[in-house]
Amino acid sequence: MKRIAAALFGLAVPLGTVQAEAAPGTRTSAHDFSFQMPHGNPLTLKEFEGKAVLVVNTATECGFSGQLSGLQQLQETYGDKGLVVLGVPSNDFGGQEPRDDGEIAKFCEARYGATFPMTAKTSVKGRNAHPFYQWAAEMLGPAARPYWNFHKYLIGPDGSIVAWFATPTSPTSNRITSEIETVLGSLTDS
Give the mean model confidence (pLDDT) for residues 55-83.
98
Taking 60 as the threshold, does the pLDDT of residue 24 lie above it?
no
Per-residue pLDDT, 5? 40
Taking 50 as the threshold, does the pLDDT of residue 119 lie above it?
yes
Per-residue pLDDT, 28? 86
User: Residue 15's pLDDT band (boundaries 50, 70, 90)?
Assistant: very low
pTM: 0.87
Give the mean model confidence (pLDDT) for residues 41-54.
97
Per-residue pLDDT, 190? 57
Active site residue 108: no
Give the mean model confidence (pLDDT) for residues 167-175.
98
User: Residue 18's pLDDT band (boundaries 50, 70, 90)?
Assistant: very low
Domain 2-18+27-189 sits in which CATH superfamily? Glutaredoxin (3.40.30.10)
Taking 60 as the threshold, does the pLDDT of residue 23 lie above it?
no
Lowest mean pLDDT of 2-11, 59-68, 70-79, name the range: 2-11
**Percent of the chain beyond pLDDT 90?**
81
Taking 50 as the threshold, does the pLDDT of residue 25 lie above it?
no
DSSP assignment of 47-93:
GGTTSEEEEEEE-TTSTTTTHHHHHHHHHHHHGGGTEEEEEEE--TT
Higher pLDDT, 92 or 188: 92
Per-residue pLDDT, 189? 66
User: Residue 21's pLDDT band (boundaries 50, 70, 90)?
Assistant: very low
- Of the candidates 12, 62, 120, 154, the residue annotated as catalytic is 62
- Give the chain's mean pLDDT: 88
DSSP assignment of the chain:
-HHHHHHHHT-EEE-S-------TTS--SGGG-EEE-TTS-EEEGGGGTTSEEEEEEE-TTSTTTTHHHHHHHHHHHHGGGTEEEEEEE--TTTT---S-HHHHHHHHHHHH---S-B-S----SSTT--HHHHHHHHHH-GGGS-SSTT-EEEEPTTS-EEEEE-TTS-TTSHHHHHHHHHHHHHHHH-
Per-residue pLDDT, 187? 77
Taking 90 as the threshold, does the pLDDT of residue 148 lie above it?
yes
